[in-house]
Structure 1
Amino acid sequence: MDLPAPLAWLVDEAGTSPSPERFLADLGSRLLSTGLPLAGGALTLAVPHPIVTQRTWLWQAETGAVIEALGFAGTSLGQAGHDWLGGLGPIYEETIGTAPDSPVLGWAGAQPFDPSAVDRLRQVARFAAAPLAGLAARAALSALLEAYLGRRSAARVQDGALRRSTGETIRAALLCADLRDFTALSEATEPTAVIAALDAWFDRVAGAVHAFGGEVLKFIGDGVLAIFPVTGTPAEACEAALRAVAAIRAGMAHLDATRLTQGLPPLPFGTALHFGDMLWGNIGAADRLDFTAIGPAVNLVSRLEGLCKPLGRNVLISGAVAAETNMVLLPLGEHELRGIVEPCVVFTLVENGEEKKTAGLTMVPTSGSPSRGA
C-alpha cells in the first residue's frame, strides 16, 4: 500500500521511538515537511504514579524544541497540552482510543485548518494508535518503577540489568536517617496515626533529598537511605547532601511545632552523612531481586546514624564529608563505631549559640583537605 510518508513512518518505524518526546518531534517534523501549517503539537499520556497523573510533551514547530509538563491529581487529561496549543493557534485534537486514560494527541495550526488538513490529521491519529499504545505502556512501566525503585534504579532495570550479582561502583555522599524511639510510639498510637506520622517524616526527608539532586534508595521501616552521586566534583555532591540535611532539620522542626499544636508528641530523629564508594546493583534470591547499595561506606553511615542518640545530636557528619566542604562545622571528636575498624572523626552542623565554639578551630577530617572553622 502506497502511504504518505508520515503514515508510512507511523506503520514502519514509530513503534521503535525511544521516547514520547522523540515520537512527537519526529511526527511533527514529518507533517511539516508535507506542507501542513503546524505551529506546534502536544502529546499527553496518563501514568500510574502516586503524585503525577499525566505527562505532556509540547513541541514547537519553529524551533523543533520539546518541553515536558507534568499533570497532577484533579487535572483533566490533556489540559496542559490544550492550553498551550491554544496560545499558538487553532487546535485539532484527538483522543487515541476509547479508555478514559487514552493518549491525547493535538496540533496547533499556524493558520486555520482547512477540511483537507483536518482529514490528514484524523488519519494520522488513526495510524498513531498502535505506536502510542506501546509508548503509553512503556511510560506506565517507567512511572511504576520510579515510584518504587527511584529514578536511577528504575532506569537500570528498564535497561535490562536483571541478573543477580551484577552492579557498579558509585562514588557518592550517603545519607542515612531514622526516627528515634518510633517502635514505642507506634505501640501506643493508632495505626492510622502511625502511618500519617511516617508519611510526614518521609515527605520531609525525600523532599529535601530530591530538591538537592539526590535519590532515595530505600525506605527501611522508619529509616531512609539516600545517595548524592558524584556527577561533577565530590565537593558538589557533599555540599548538596549538607544542604539537604539542613532542610530536613528545618522541615522536622516545623512539623514538630505543628504536631505540638495538635497535642501530638514530637518526632525525634537522627541523620548521618558520609562520603565514599558503594556497590550498587542486584542482590537477592534467584527469583526475587533487590536493587540496593552495599559496602563499607553504607555500613559506616548506618553506624554513624546510630551515634546520634548517645551524642544528643540529630545530625552527624563524617570527616570524609567535612573534607569536601568549606561549611563551618562543629567537631565532636573521634568515635568508635561498632563493626568499623578505624575510629571516625565526627562533626555536626552548627546550631544557634554554638558559633563561639567553632571560633579559631581548624577542623582536620580523616582524609582530604582541612575543613576550616570561622
Structure 2
Amino acid sequence: MRLPPALSFLVDEATGMTGADRFLATLGAKLMAGSLPLAGGALTELPTHPIIAQHSWLWRADTGRVIEGLGFGAAGLGQAVPAAAARDWLVGLGEVHETPVGATARLGWATSRPLRPAELRLLHEVARFATAPLAVLAARATQAVLLETYLGKRSAARVLAGRLRREPGEIIQAALLYADLRGFTELSEASAPPEVIATLDAWFDRIAGAVHAFGGEVLKFIGDGILAIFPIGQRGAPAACDAAIRAVAAARAGMDHLDRSRAAQGLPSLPFGTALHVGEMLWGNIGTADRLDFTAIGPSVNLVSRLEGLCRPLGRPVLLSGAFAAATSHPSIPLGRHRLRGIAAPCAVFGLPA
C-alpha cells in the first residue's frame, strides 16, 4: 500500500533534515500535497539546554516561512510562553489540531475548515510517525548544545565536523582578552564551597556575557581566569580591538553593580585585572591519543596572560600591549616598557584613561 506523502516523508526523508524548521516546513508542504487544508503549523520542543526551556517553530502555509520562538525558565510543555504563544498563533489562522509527539514535543496545525474523520486520523498518524525522526533531530541538537556549552562554538564546530585527532591546528588572528580575579585564593580559603561556586558563576556571567555581547568568544575558563578572543576576520584589527575594549567596559560596569550588591550583604568586593593584546595564536587539539582538549597556545597567549600579572604592581585595572594600543582607536596612556615573566623581549605597556 502506498503511504500518503506526509507519512512517506517521515519514513524515508525526515531524519536527513538539517533542522526542525526545515522539518516542519517540509512536513506541512507534504500534508498540503495530500489535500489537507492547512493554514499553518507549529512545533514545540523541550530542548536540552542550559538556559532555553522551550523552542517553538511556527510555519505559515501561504508563505512557507518559519519563525522561531524561545522560552526561558523551567516551566513544562504547555505552560511556558512559547507553547501558549504557538497555540494562540495557530488560533489566529484557523481551527487548531494539536497532538503530542513523544514526551518532549508537540505538533499543532491550523486548518481553513473543519477536518473530516480520515483527515484527523492522518494527523494522528503523522504525530506517531514523527516521533522517531524528531528524536533523531533532537539528539543532534542536544549534541551540538552540549559541545557548545562545554567547549564553546569554535571548538564545538570542529568536534562536530569530526576533528577528533591530534593535529597541528589552525592559526587565528584575533584580539585577545585575559582577565583574572584578584585575591580569589584567599577568598576561597575563607568561604564555604557553595559560596565560592556562586561567586565564580557571578564573575563569569559578567565577563563572559560582555565578551559575547560584543562579538567575542570565550576559549577557556582557567581557574578564576578567562581567555577570550575577538576574531579579526574581515572586520580588521581596529574593529576587533575596539570591540574588546567595549566588552571590558561592559564587564567592569557589571562587576561594579555586583560589588554594590555584595557590599549590601556584607561581602567583599571582587577586583579583577584585564589584559588586552592582538596577534596570532595556534588553536587545535592537544593531549593523549584518547583524551584531547582544544586549546590555544603561542607567544600571544603567553604575553596576554603575563601582561595581566602587571595590573596589580602597576595599579591599573586594564593593561594594553603596545600592539593592541597601536591597533585600537581608543586613547591610551604609555606606562613604559616592562619585562614579562618568561618572555625575552620587554613589552610596551599602556593603560586606559580613567
CA distance in 2, matches of 1:108, 1:305: 58
Q: Post-superposition shift, 1:65?
A: 2.3
1:247 equivalent among 231, 250, 255 = 250
| Residue equivalent to 1:89 | 94
| 1:3 is the counterpart of 2:3 | yes
Asked if 2 retains the 8 angstrom alpha-carbon contact of 1:278 and 1:297, the reply is yes
CA distance in 2, matches of 1:82, 1:231: 42
Select between 129-138 and 337-346 the one with higher mean Cα deviation: 337-346
Per-residue CA deviations over 1:260-296 (Å, capped at 9, x if unaligned) read 1111111110111111212112111111111111111
Alignment of 1:121-270 (within 5 A): 121-234=123-236, 235-270=238-273
| Residue equivalent to 1:325 | 328
For 1:323, what is the secondary structure of its paired residue? Answer: helix
Per-residue CA deviations over 1:189-243 (Å, capped at 9, x if unaligned) read 2222211211111110111111112121111111111112224312222222111
CA distance in 2, matches of 1:319, 1:129: 58
Asked if 2 retains the 8 angstrom alpha-carbon contact of 1:46 and 1:136, the reply is no
| 1:69 is the counterpart of 2:72 | no
Q: Give structure 2 stretches of 5+ with no counterpart.
A: none
Select between 341-350 and 160-169 the one with higher mean Cα deviation: 341-350
The change in CA–CA distance for 1:88 and 1:300 in structure 2 (over 3 A counts) is: farther
RMSD, matched Cα: 1.9
Q: Post-superposition shift, 1:172?
A: 1.5
Per-residue CA deviations over 1:88-122 (Å, capped at 9, x if unaligned) read 3332222112x3xx222222234444444322222
For 1:71, what is the secondary structure of its paired residue? Answer: strand
| Residue equivalent to 2:46 | 46
1:274 equivalent among 253, 261, 277 = 277
CA distance in 1, matches of 2:217, 2:316: 24
| Residue equivalent to 1:367 | none
Q: Post-superposition shift, 1:250?
A: 0.8
Select between 4-13 and 179-188 the one with higher mean Cα deviation: 4-13
The change in CA–CA distance for 1:131 and 1:194 in structure 2 (over 3 A counts) is: same
Q: Work out the percentage of aligned pairs sharing the same amino acid.
A: 65
Opposite residue 186 of structure 1, the aligned amino acid is S
Select between 220-229 and 231-240 the one with higher mean Cα deviation: 231-240
Asked if 1 retains the 8 angstrom alpha-carbon contact of 2:173 and 2:233, the reply is no
**Aligned length, in residue pairs:** 348
CA distance in 2, matches of 1:261, 1:221: 27
Normalized per residue, which structure has more helix?
2
Per-residue CA deviations over 1:155-210 (Å, capped at 9, x if unaligned) read 22112111112522221221111101110111112222211211111110111111
Opposite residue 182 of structure 2, the aligned amino acid is R
CA distance in 1, matches of 2:195, 2:21: 42
The change in CA–CA distance for 1:350 and 1:40 in structure 2 (over 3 A counts) is: farther
| Residue equivalent to 1:103 | 105
| Residue equivalent to 1:284 | 287
Per-residue CA deviations over 1:115-161 (Å, capped at 9, x if unaligned) read 44322222211221111111111112222112111122112211211
Select between 315-324 and 7-16 the one with higher mean Cα deviation: 315-324
Select between 110-119 and 130-139 the one with higher mean Cα deviation: 110-119
For 2:327, what is the secondary structure of its paired residue? Answer: coil
CA distance in 2, matches of 1:138, 1:119: 30
CA distance in 2, matches of 1:348, 1:38: 62
| Residue equivalent to 1:15 | 15
Q: Post-superposition shift, 1:245?
A: 0.7
Q: Give structure 1 stretches of 5+ with no counterpart.
A: 352-374
CA distance in 1, matches of 2:91, 2:322: 55
CA distance in 1, matches of 2:47, 2:27: 22
The change in CA–CA distance for 1:110 and 1:208 in structure 2 (over 3 A counts) is: farther
For 1:18, what is the secondary structure of its paired residue? Answer: coil
TM-score w.r.t. length of structure 2: 0.92
Per-residue CA deviations over 1:63-105 (Å, capped at 9, x if unaligned) read 32223222222333251433433343332222112x3xx2222
Asked if 2 retains the 8 angstrom alpha-carbon contact of 1:47 and 1:143, the reply is no
CA distance in 2, matches of 1:111, 1:230: 54
Opposite residue 93 of structure 1, the aligned amino acid is E
The change in CA–CA distance for 1:189 and 1:29 in structure 2 (over 3 A counts) is: same
CA distance in 2, matches of 1:84, 1:320: 53
| Residue equivalent to 1:354 | none
CA distance in 2, matches of 1:151, 1:86: 37
CA distance in 1, matches of 2:74, 2:214: 27
